[in-house]
Amino acid sequence: MKKQDEKKIVLAINEKPKLSQWLLLSIQHLFAMFGATVLVPALTGMSPAVALVSSGIGTLSFILITRGKVPSYLGSSFAFINPIIAVKALELDPASGVSHGSFLVGSFLVGVTYALIALIIAKAGTKWLMKLLPPIVVGPVIMVIGLGLSVTAVNMATNNPAGEYDLNYVLVGLVTLTITILTAIFTRGFLSVIPVLIGIVGGYIFSICLGIVNLQAVAEAPWFQIPPFQIPFVDYSPSFTWRVFLMMVPVAIVPIAEHIGHQLVLSKVVGKDLIEDPGLDKSMLGDGVATMFASLIGGPPNTTYGENIGVLAITRAFSIYLFVGAAIFAILFGFCGKIAVLLSTIPTPVMGGVSILLFGIIASSGLRMLVENKVDFSRKRNLIVASVILVIGIGGAALHIGQVFSLEGMALASIIGVVLNQVLPGKQVVDFKEMFKE
């Protein structure tokens, strides 16, 4: 089987493609990540242009840190949508003690957390992490991410900017959702990997037909424009608060588990054990550095993208040069004024329609993890751990001690889930490679 797979490889990891291959296949990877990467900043009130630049530079730094051995693209992480929205809401409340730009400080600390875990992995291996993040903890936490965002998705797909129900918005949301679903189900090859992008384009065209979109600003926008970066000590004075730390850093549990899963699946796709060489510590550090850099220019936390792994599996073109090309294109797109303005004109019901499916898929993937790992819910400990995580996370439970200490929602659910799994009797150890078996 291995010899057959090697014959099917179009471009090996370190193989330099022809110029035509390089351009076309790089653009293909750009499209694969584009929809999700710009969706996160659109939902959190951040700049899509900055997100594109930070994802491009983050990918280049990841490639450098992993010594060009891991073909991956890094884009905006969905896990931090709710925490960023929550922290930004606190920034607007003078009584909260949370200053402007605190969500970026929180993002930077998430990147530091990745780096620290990478250091521990380098020294102590991965068994400790395996015990900390079994499916019974990670699965329900992933479900909390998707279900916790469901209200946001539905409101975006049904309500106008005034917060009122609008039939035109509902139609746009439904059309966008329908196009995305049909693309995901009935297309094959590369198109089946980019249903989100096709759904956004289809919904956008339908919005233009309904007169919801005004393209005048796009026509007037310059081709070259510096994105609205947010630089610490220039645009805001960074300050540390335990409240922000506890709202954002514990959520790192999810992208860390996701990262490990991606590296295992990617190893299977390319036929090399990337967990051993260049090592999980190197790839985790790459995630951390990318996230820290993104926070320093005003972008969201980054994570490796499953969409691009899907493209690799389809095309069998593994060349690291393709990801270098995609990263450069993303940076150039971020500095293109017309593209930045075009992204800002995408109506909220378009994003809402896509989000209904995406957030549902996130929740379902958590359920899938539980099913595939045969988590036994006839065992009371498993039922208790999952139930507590789901209700605390989705219900928005919070633990406040004065104005200094605050732990809420998904972060609180994640920590309680980890603690419960450690202290309740009958704990089972699961092998990483079984946990993310595909």
Say how far apart CA 317 and CA 339 lie, in whole Å.
28
pLDDT at 411: 80
Axis-axis angle for helices 409-423, 380-395 (nearest 10): 170
DSSP-based three-state secondary structure for 304 = strand
- Rounded to whole angstroms, how far apart are CA atoms 28 and 19? 14
What pLDDT score was predicted for residue 349? 93
Write down the pLDDT at residue 288.
96
> What is the reported pTM?
0.81
Residues 69, 280: Cα–Cα separation, whole Å = 12
Divide the 438 residues of the chain into consecutive groups of 10 and give the mean pLDDT of each group: 56 90 87 84 91 96 96 92 90 88 96 96 85 86 86 89 88 94 84 81 93 87 94 94 89 84 84 90 96 97 86 86 95 92 87 86 85 89 95 86 69 89 80 52
Q: What angle do CA 243, 244, 250 make, to 5 degrees?
A: 95
The pLDDT score that the predictor gives to residue 404 is: 59
Reference 371, options 150, 132, 142, 80; nearest CA is: 142
Q: Amino acid letter at 65?
A: I
What's the DSSP call for residue 424? S
Burial of 209 (0-12, 13-18, 19+ CB in 10 A): exposed
Phi, psi of 399, deg, nearest 5: -120, 110
